[in-house]
Structure 1
């Protein structure tokens, strides 16, 4: 399994939305429980700004995985490497550098 080793810019966003099953009863009571295992898989909104030639290498990496194949990534300021998918990314090409925005989704498989 390949690893995404490029440094991301500060200000990364982390989104959590736990999967929950709930049942509402007629008297206003609601019962909730987790919807399966690992119900809180996070999404990371990252930005990087490599020089233009290196940005092409990042692009090839993301296109190779095509939102289907997971890869390893170590989020900044975290101890563990996690498996992620990247289904969405965009490039803004400048004179010397390219800004890349991507969304990494934690996955188990």
Structure 2
């Protein structure tokens, strides 16, 4: 069973949704459109996590990166986006960590995958 990603992104996030649609082009510029598959709408989220290294603080950016590294873009995980409030299955294919002094900033893209 997939693990649950529990960290909360800072300062919101962006959500991208691209419906999976089959398009048939007909004469005179007309076209016919139809949903494809049983999961025609999957979401992609761009998230940012921040944390400061300190002796008594937990760094959410480093913890989130360790979680993603452990899955290596192979294992999916559950996450609940606040815009839908519905837990879904995601994979993170790439992320970026920036360190500025004691501040760590992780940016990641979560792509929804079928259950």
TM-score (norm 2): 0.85
Aligned to 1:45: 46
Residue 100 (structure 2) pairs with residue 99 (structure 1): no
Q: Secondary structure of 1:105's match?
A: strand
Distance 1:35 1:108 in 2: 13
In structure 2, runs of 5+ residues without a counterpart are none
Count of residues in correspondence between the two structures: 109
Measured after TM superposition, the shift of residue 97 of structure 1 is 2.0
Distance 2:62 2:10 in 1: 18
Higher strand share goes to which structure? Answer: 2
1:83-103 CA distance string (max 9 Å, x none):
110001000012222010000
Q: Secondary structure of 1:57's match?
A: helix
Residue 68 (structure 2) pairs with residue 62 (structure 1): yes
Runs of 4+ aligned residues of structure 1 deviating over 6 Å after TM superposition are none
TM-score (norm 1): 0.89
In structure 1, runs of 5+ residues without a counterpart are none
Q: Secondary structure of 1:14's match?
A: strand
Q: CA RMSD of the aligned region, Å?
A: 1.6
Distance 1:57 1:28 in 2: 52
